[in-house]
Structure 1
Amino acid sequence: MRRECLTIIGTAHVSAESVEEVKDKIYEIQPDRVAIELDLARYTKLKNSMMGIEEDDSISVTKIIKENKVGLFLVTTVLSYFQSKIGEEVDVAPGSEMVGAIEAAEDLGIPLALIDRNINTTLERALNRMSFIDKIKFLIGLLTTDTDDEEIDIEELKNPDKLDDLLEMFKDEAPGIYEVLVHERDAYLAGSLLRIPEDKVVAVVGAGHQPGINRYLDNPETIPPLEELNKIIDKKGIPWTKIILALIPILFVVIFFLAFLNGINITYNIYQFIGISMLMGFLGSILSGSKIQSAIVGGLVAPLTIIHPLLAAGWFSGLTEAKYRKVRQRDIKNLAHFDGFRDLWNNNIFRVLLVVIGTNLAVSIATLVILPSQVFIPLFMQIFGG
């Protein structure tokens, strides 16, 4: 691709004006290739929608739980809801400008280039950059944003001054997400454009990416290697949280063992451990709205999962809940169009994942607070004569 022959169209993703601007520009320039800010999965989904093809959009809840993708799934769902909500406000479906680009390119017989990174890679990299508190703040911020109370001027979102203000605020609130969603994708999009063999190219991207793409195109040596941008990496530094969570069950076992060696009768303490663990697993599940069967399973496995750092009680209660709450295609579709907590509460996917989170949270409270104070610290004091 020749830099001087590249035309970048910065769009708002739910803007009727952007749709017309994209189509008019492609018809006017008639480039050798049209580049769009989509990956293969999103392009396929959009293309099927254009052709009226009903996709099998069923989701395996069991797979989500077993692969520990609950957080990723919830973030994806909330982001989809947020964009759909804005689209409804302005009566434009999200991705309409990409549809316009595809239609114009096909009409002129121009090949397409899919220049964006896989969405799951982007979200996983973003989640790995966030602390637990950052994740909670991010989800609360999205869920509590009320588009009904504000007049939405989508075209203003393409104004560079407005974009700078919005992105700076986003950068201050969540720098890790900003780096992945903005800077990294700017680099990825710019690198994809440079790899296009044709000279004359029209690129359709979100307006927020246009300045960053231009900076990278002006300084291509600063673009990281493709392999680095696609790599799923854990947080930098020592994973102290994981280390501590792994050491806690070991510490529990060691205290029991030392007490036994010192001739202390630990029968009551073991009953305490089992009883508290089972009670918290049961309560965490049932208070999350589970079936009684799921709560019983969560309670029964809780003592074992506390001792075994690679297991989680919520997995078992969630998998049990999934057997009783049949997830249907309408549950997946409705996730992107909920209007309040009542809609979520009536959604089987949300209810299953809520059981996973609730059970794990309750068992974590037992592990970090109740068991140490009620069982292991008193036992430790007995061992060392405190």
Structure 2
Amino acid sequence: MNDSSPGEGHVRVVGTAHVSADSVREVEETVKAEQPDVVAVELDEGRYRQLKGGSPDDIEASDLLRGNTVFQFIAYWMLSYVQAQMGEKFDVKPGADMLAAVETAESEGLDVALVDRNIQTTIQRFWRRMGIVEKMRMAGELLFGFADARGVGAVFGIAVGVFLGPLVGLYGDAVGITDLILTRTATAAVVGGAASYMLYTIASFYLDGDDALLAGLGGGTAIGIILSFGLGIGTGLATAVLKDLGIAIVGSLVIGIVAGVAVGVVAGVVLNAIGLFAPAEGVEDYEEYDMADLTDGDVVSAMMEEFRRFSPGGAEALIDERDAFIAHKLVALRQSGHDVVAVVGAGHKAGIESYLERPETLPPMESLVGVSEKKGFPWGKLIGFGVTAVFIGFFVLLAMAGISNERLLTIFGAWFLINGIFAGTLAKLAGARWSGALVGGLVAWMTSINPLLAPGWFTGYVELRHTPVNVGDIGKLNELLSDEETPIPELVGQMFDVPLFKLIMVVAMTNIGSIIASFLFVTYVIPVIASDLGGASGVANLMFEGARNSADLIWRTLT
């Protein structure tokens, strides 16, 4: 296009498919024919350096403590993996169009301008703009292959099931879930897990990877259920050992999660049937497009609209804001009198050209950079402060009920130890250094009472002080995941050799350890410590008594 005032330069926007060989040829031919002053490319400094064979920026250790860094990299990994899969399908390296633009400009002696927003900013804003349902849909697609209501229901069911588990352990007797059922379920889970691994190992000699995995999981589940519930083998021993160790929480968590997922999936199927979360009509999976279709702007736009339907907030950060950011850069080049060929993804072309035609509609540049504020009511902060208030109130009410300081210190010490042991142990099992596991364990008691913090962030901080992690690791992970012949256990081992994956697992396992410890504490530890007080119900009665005493004290003080 060429919309400019007298004395200004002009901009021609070339829309490409990032994995299309035809786009590479179009870019090379256009740059050579136009001979502009500047070739502008949809790259930031980090991606440009990586595309040219340099090293991308490392993750700063301090950034991890600001929260959501790992989740943002998972989102970036997902987007990168989809593009890598498309590039493999069409036998073109992702980003080849941008590299062609840069190399052609350099060979012709033309200037190159990097006009895209920093990828870290984009992913951060992408993650924060996504709503909770959108994140659940993404998780459902990654875990179950469902990006509709079934996926949302399954992920929501897991979350509900994790919280439902301790309630099953505490009050299961009221609905017929006895200790025997809990220990049998725990036995089935342990035996089934071991059997699944052995069956998978055997099946991998005769079946392909996915078939071997399904055979292992299906066979192991059946063996665990039959041996534990059908034949009752080992039930007596399991009941004695598991109950004494308090590991029946495994059974309560399994029951809670299975129930939650089942209800969530059924609800998802019903919602799908009435049309909620249904896929956009007329939008096909990219595998059904041939090369000619892929470079067609209408098809790329249709794919963008499907993503916008999937995640309106994410699309705003990933597409709309970048349209405006790139347009700002191009308008500045045009106003400086430069003739520009801008090479951008086809999905951005229409939005950028609209801004170039009417630059007065551009949003302020300062609104497109920096930390993006979440929209809507801050439920996360409210829940976080609420959990902290409940924890503090627990000790205050017990103190007001007359519980001795020694007993309160015993309860707090148990909370500190169980959180530290579980968080630190799981961090170490995930490959953390001893120093990282120790730090995660020491802060787990504090972070577990505030969902706005996570012990994994502190463990990850220590890990990053010793092991550099950068965006380039995502490419390594994509290469590993594209190998369909490597056995899964070997593949997992190779993924742990990639620093980014190891960091993600260390952070996740530290957090999971703290979560398990918190539920175990409420479900089993408090009843043991407070057995002479009447167990969990006795502690609850003492808290009510503490509340009454507090109210009386406040009333006497005021009157």
> Does the TM-score normalized on the shorter chain lie above 0.5?
yes
Distance 1:284 1:109 in 2: 57
Cα separation, partners in 2 of 1:374 and 1:132, compared to 1, 3 Å = farther
Could you tell me the TM-score, scaled by structure 2's length? 0.59
| RMSD (Å), alpha carbons | 3.7
Q: 26, 29, 38: which is aligned to 1:24?
A: 29
Distance 1:269 1:89 in 2: 62
Q: Which has the larger radius of gyration?
A: 2
Does residue 113 (structure 1) correspond to residue 118 (structure 2)? The answer is: no
Matched with 1:383 is 543
Deviations 1:283-308 (A, max 9, x none): 45545643594656544432233357
Matched with 2:160 is none
Alignment of 1:99-178 (within 5 A): 99-138=99-138, 141=141, 150=287, 153-178=290-315
Distance 1:83 1:187 in 2: 23
Distance 2:90 2:144 in 1: 19
Give 1:255's aligned amino acid.
F
Does residue 338 (structure 1) correspond to residue 480 (structure 2)? The answer is: yes
Q: 450, 456, 463: which is aligned to 1:314?
A: 456
Q: Secondary structure at the match of 1:337?
A: helix
Cα separation, partners in 2 of 1:235 and 1:81, compared to 1, 3 Å = same
Matched with 2:237 is none
Matched with 2:50 is 45
Q: Secondary structure at the match of 2:448?
A: helix
Q: 319, 344, 350: which is aligned to 1:211?
A: 350
Q: Secondary structure at the match of 2:92?
A: coil
Matched with 2:505 is 354
Q: Secondary structure at the match of 1:3?
A: coil
Q: Secondary structure at the match of 1:195?
A: helix
Q: 185, 199, 202: which is aligned to 2:341?
A: 202
How much identity, in percent, do the aligned residues show?
A: 37
Could you tell me the TM-score, scaled by structure 1's length? 0.82
- The offset of 1:229, in angstroms, is 0.8
Cα separation, partners in 2 of 1:56 and 1:28, compared to 1, 3 Å = closer
Distance 1:120 1:382 in 2: 50
Cα separation, partners in 2 of 1:318 and 1:104, compared to 1, 3 Å = closer
Q: Secondary structure at the match of 1:264?
A: coil
Matched with 2:74 is 74
Consecutive unaligned residues in structure 2, runs of 5 or more:
5-9, 146-209, 211-285, 482-487, 527-535, 548-559
Deviations 1:211-258 (A, max 9, x none): 111222233222101111113122024423123213322332233123
Q: Which moved more, 1:287-296 or 1:167-176?
A: 287-296
Q: Secondary structure at the match of 2:342?
A: strand
Distance 2:498 2:111 in 1: 41
Matched with 2:359 is 220
Matched with 2:430 is 290
Q: Secondary structure at the match of 1:233?
A: coil
Distance 1:291 1:57 in 2: 24
Matched with 1:363 is 514
Q: How many residues align?
A: 378
Matched with 2:446 is 304
Contact between 2:50 and 2:56, CA under 8 Å: does it hold in 1? no
Give 2:343's aligned amino acid.
V
Distance 1:258 1:234 in 2: 37
